[in-house]
Structure 1
Amino acid sequence: MIRLCVLPRLVLLFAAAILSVAVGCSSAPKSSSAGSKSLSGTDEQIFMGDTIEKNYDPNVIMKRAEAFFEKEEYPEAVIEYQHFLDLHRVHVLASYAQFKLGESHFKMKKTADRDPEPVYRALETFEKLRKDFPGSQYDGDAVDRIHACHNMIAEAYYLIGQFYYRREAYLAAAHRFEAVTKQWPEMDVAGEALYYLALTYSDLGADDWAREKLTVLAERYPNNKFRAESKQLLARLETRQPAMAVAMTGVSSNGASSNGASANGAHALNGARPHSPSPPTVSPVSALRDANGVSPAPRTFLCRLGIWC
């Protein structure tokens, strides 16, 4: 009788133990999934909702900006960093926000042959950082970024000049090459731009200007990569100058008789009144004047190259 009473109790205890183990195993994954869900929600909660605190709280705005920056979503990061600066210009993190704003613009740049607008915006932002937050801990990095921006802008001008040069638009090409040599003479492409400027002047027939630029190139950038090409170009210019001088001498010696003969021929054929040839001392500008002393409109080849007309 006693054994019959003990047996059901043992069965119940064994069943209770199995049930407790099964409940424990089934509840463990639920708690871990709930914990992971709360962890993922921690990063996303700064993007959800439209409360006043989330729109104006500096910590929340900075967290959003940093999250976008880490995801390389730079246009969104620019908006958030600028929003932070608009609301909290005197905050302790204002200089950091200004620096990261410039970094976001800088990282939006593509190659040098693409739109340089992000580089211009980055340059403006870094210069504003040095102006509004002088002596900040980001000042040294801002100086390096400013130099990199100038280098990229100079390279963009140089590539545009090469584009025009290949299409034989020499005035437009010379304008870009000269801009590089004058505005960014310390940049990496300045020596190459100076060589192409001399080459462009040579193609335009301005040999004196071409020789001058080659001289400056040898003095200022002695280790430029166009040293051999510069010497060859200078040699061609030197050989072309005596030939041009001989041609001009022949024209000046035969000019009077030729002009007289052509004038008499025109008088004989057309019945027009003859005119005396211009004396050798007359300047080219006065020689272009008509019978009434009025100068005609200047022609394209008379325009001075440096004016970029």
Structure 2
Amino acid sequence: MIKRKKLFTGLIAITIVLSLTACSNVEDEQRQLIANQGPTALYKQAKNNMEIGNFSAAAQILSSIDSKFPFGPLSHQVQLDLIYAHYKSGDIDQTLATIDRFIRLNPNHADVEYAIYMRGVVNMEQDANLFQAVFGVDRSDRDPSRSKEAFEDFRRLIEQHPDSKYAPDAKQRMVFIKNRLAKYEIEVARFYMRREAWVAAANRGRYVLEYFADTEQIQPALEIMVASYNELGLDQLKNNAVKTLRLNYPQSEFIN
């Protein structure tokens, strides 16, 4: 029985070694194939990989073209395709690095607006609320730094390229991001309220009114201000907040 176990274990080990060797050989063959082809043939192969959804292989080939032929006639298109291939492969760091490099080296290129737009998309998706999307759990209290960066990317696109075909989508994304940032401020305000830090809570509510007046968070911001000013005994400020709340949200329970 022991001998059989040893034999079985040995066979597994041999199989693993052979599998690893085979994978290594395939990778070596792939690298050799890339090394022996010109930029046009390589680019065609990369595009074929992208068409079938093999973005990792496409990124590898495009990176090779970019490295071996940095000033060739395909260089700009290779870099743009590389942005998309890295993005679809889920390699966020490489995507952003490729975007920033393209923008830095080609600030006046006709397709720089695409690079700026993709920078915003990548940053926005990095801040995507997985818990909320999958489990229905709202995590608006998370650090919004990626959303802020995405907002600035989209703002830059619209300011520098107002007629870009990406501008309408960028504007819609900015609306979404503003609401996300406003929700974050509301969550921070509620955090302060739970700790009875009424001044800080009221200031957060007022901040939402001043900077996110076109979002859906105005009602909770006003309600936070009413509650906080009430605790602080600031009747005039409380009455002003109640008046605004009554005018815009007459069904709010904070009015009375």
Deviation at 1:142, TM superposition (A): 1.3
| Cross-structure match for 2:120 | 102
Aligned positions of 1:94-133 closer than 5 A: 94-109=112-127, 110=129, 111-133=139-161
Deviation at 1:216, TM superposition (A): 0.4
The CA distance in 2 between the partners of 1:142 and 1:136, in whole Å, is: 10
Deviation at 1:44, TM superposition (A): 2.4
1:217 pairs with 2:245 = yes
Counterpart selection for 1:167 from 195, 209, 212: 195
1:73 pairs with 2:101 = no
Amino acid at match of 1:44: Q
Q: Which has the larger radius of gyration?
A: 1
1:157 pairs with 2:152 = no
Alpha-carbon spacing, 1:54–1:45, altered in 2? closer, same or farther (3 Å): farther
Deviation at 1:54, TM superposition (A): 4.2
Contact kept? 1:64, 1:80, Cα under 8 Å: yes
Aligned positions of 1:155-304 closer than 5 A: 155-222=183-250, 227=252, 229-231=253-255, 234=256
CA displacement 1:171-219 (0-9 Å, x = unmatched) = 1111111101121122111111101110110011112321221110111
TM-score (norm 1): 0.58
Question: Where does the alignment leave 5 or more consecutive residues of structure 2 unmatched?
Answer: 1-25, 34-44, 50-56, 130-138
1:90 pairs with 2:108 = yes
Contact kept? 2:58, 2:85, Cα under 8 Å: no
Alpha-carbon spacing, 1:42–1:230, altered in 2? closer, same or farther (3 Å): closer
Aligned partner of residue 185 in structure 1, secondary structure? coil
Contact kept? 2:66, 2:79, Cα under 8 Å: no
The CA distance in 2 between the partners of 1:89 and 1:172, in whole Å, is: 42
The CA distance in 2 between the partners of 1:146 and 1:76, in whole Å, is: 24
State percent identity of aligned pairs.
Answer: 24
Deviation at 1:85, TM superposition (A): 1.2
Contact kept? 2:124, 2:147, Cα under 8 Å: yes
Deviation at 1:220, TM superposition (A): 2.2
More RCO (CA 8 Å, sep 6+): 2
1:45 pairs with 2:69 = no
The CA distance in 1 between the partners of 2:85 and 2:58, in whole Å, is: 12
The CA distance in 1 between the partners of 2:162 and 2:214, in whole Å, is: 25
Aligned length, in residue pairs: 195
Deviation at 1:63, TM superposition (A): 2.0
Deviation at 1:89, TM superposition (A): 2.0
CA displacement 1:62-113 (0-9 Å, x = unmatched) = 2221111112332321111111111122222211111111111111114421
The CA distance in 1 between the partners of 2:206 and 2:71, in whole Å, is: 49
Alpha-carbon spacing, 1:170–1:43, altered in 2? closer, same or farther (3 Å): closer
1:138 pairs with 2:166 = yes
The CA distance in 2 between the partners of 1:135 and 1:59, in whole Å, is: 22
Deviates more, 1:71-80 or 1:209-218: 71-80
Alpha-carbon spacing, 1:43–1:193, altered in 2? closer, same or farther (3 Å): closer
TM-score (norm 2): 0.69
Deviation at 1:50, TM superposition (A): 7.2
The CA distance in 1 between the partners of 2:151 and 2:58, in whole Å, is: 35
Alpha-carbon spacing, 1:200–1:87, altered in 2? closer, same or farther (3 Å): same
RMSD: 2.6
Alpha-carbon spacing, 1:213–1:138, altered in 2? closer, same or farther (3 Å): same
Aligned partner of residue 90 in structure 2, secondary structure? coil
Aligned partner of residue 179 in structure 1, secondary structure? helix
Alpha-carbon spacing, 1:103–1:163, altered in 2? closer, same or farther (3 Å): same
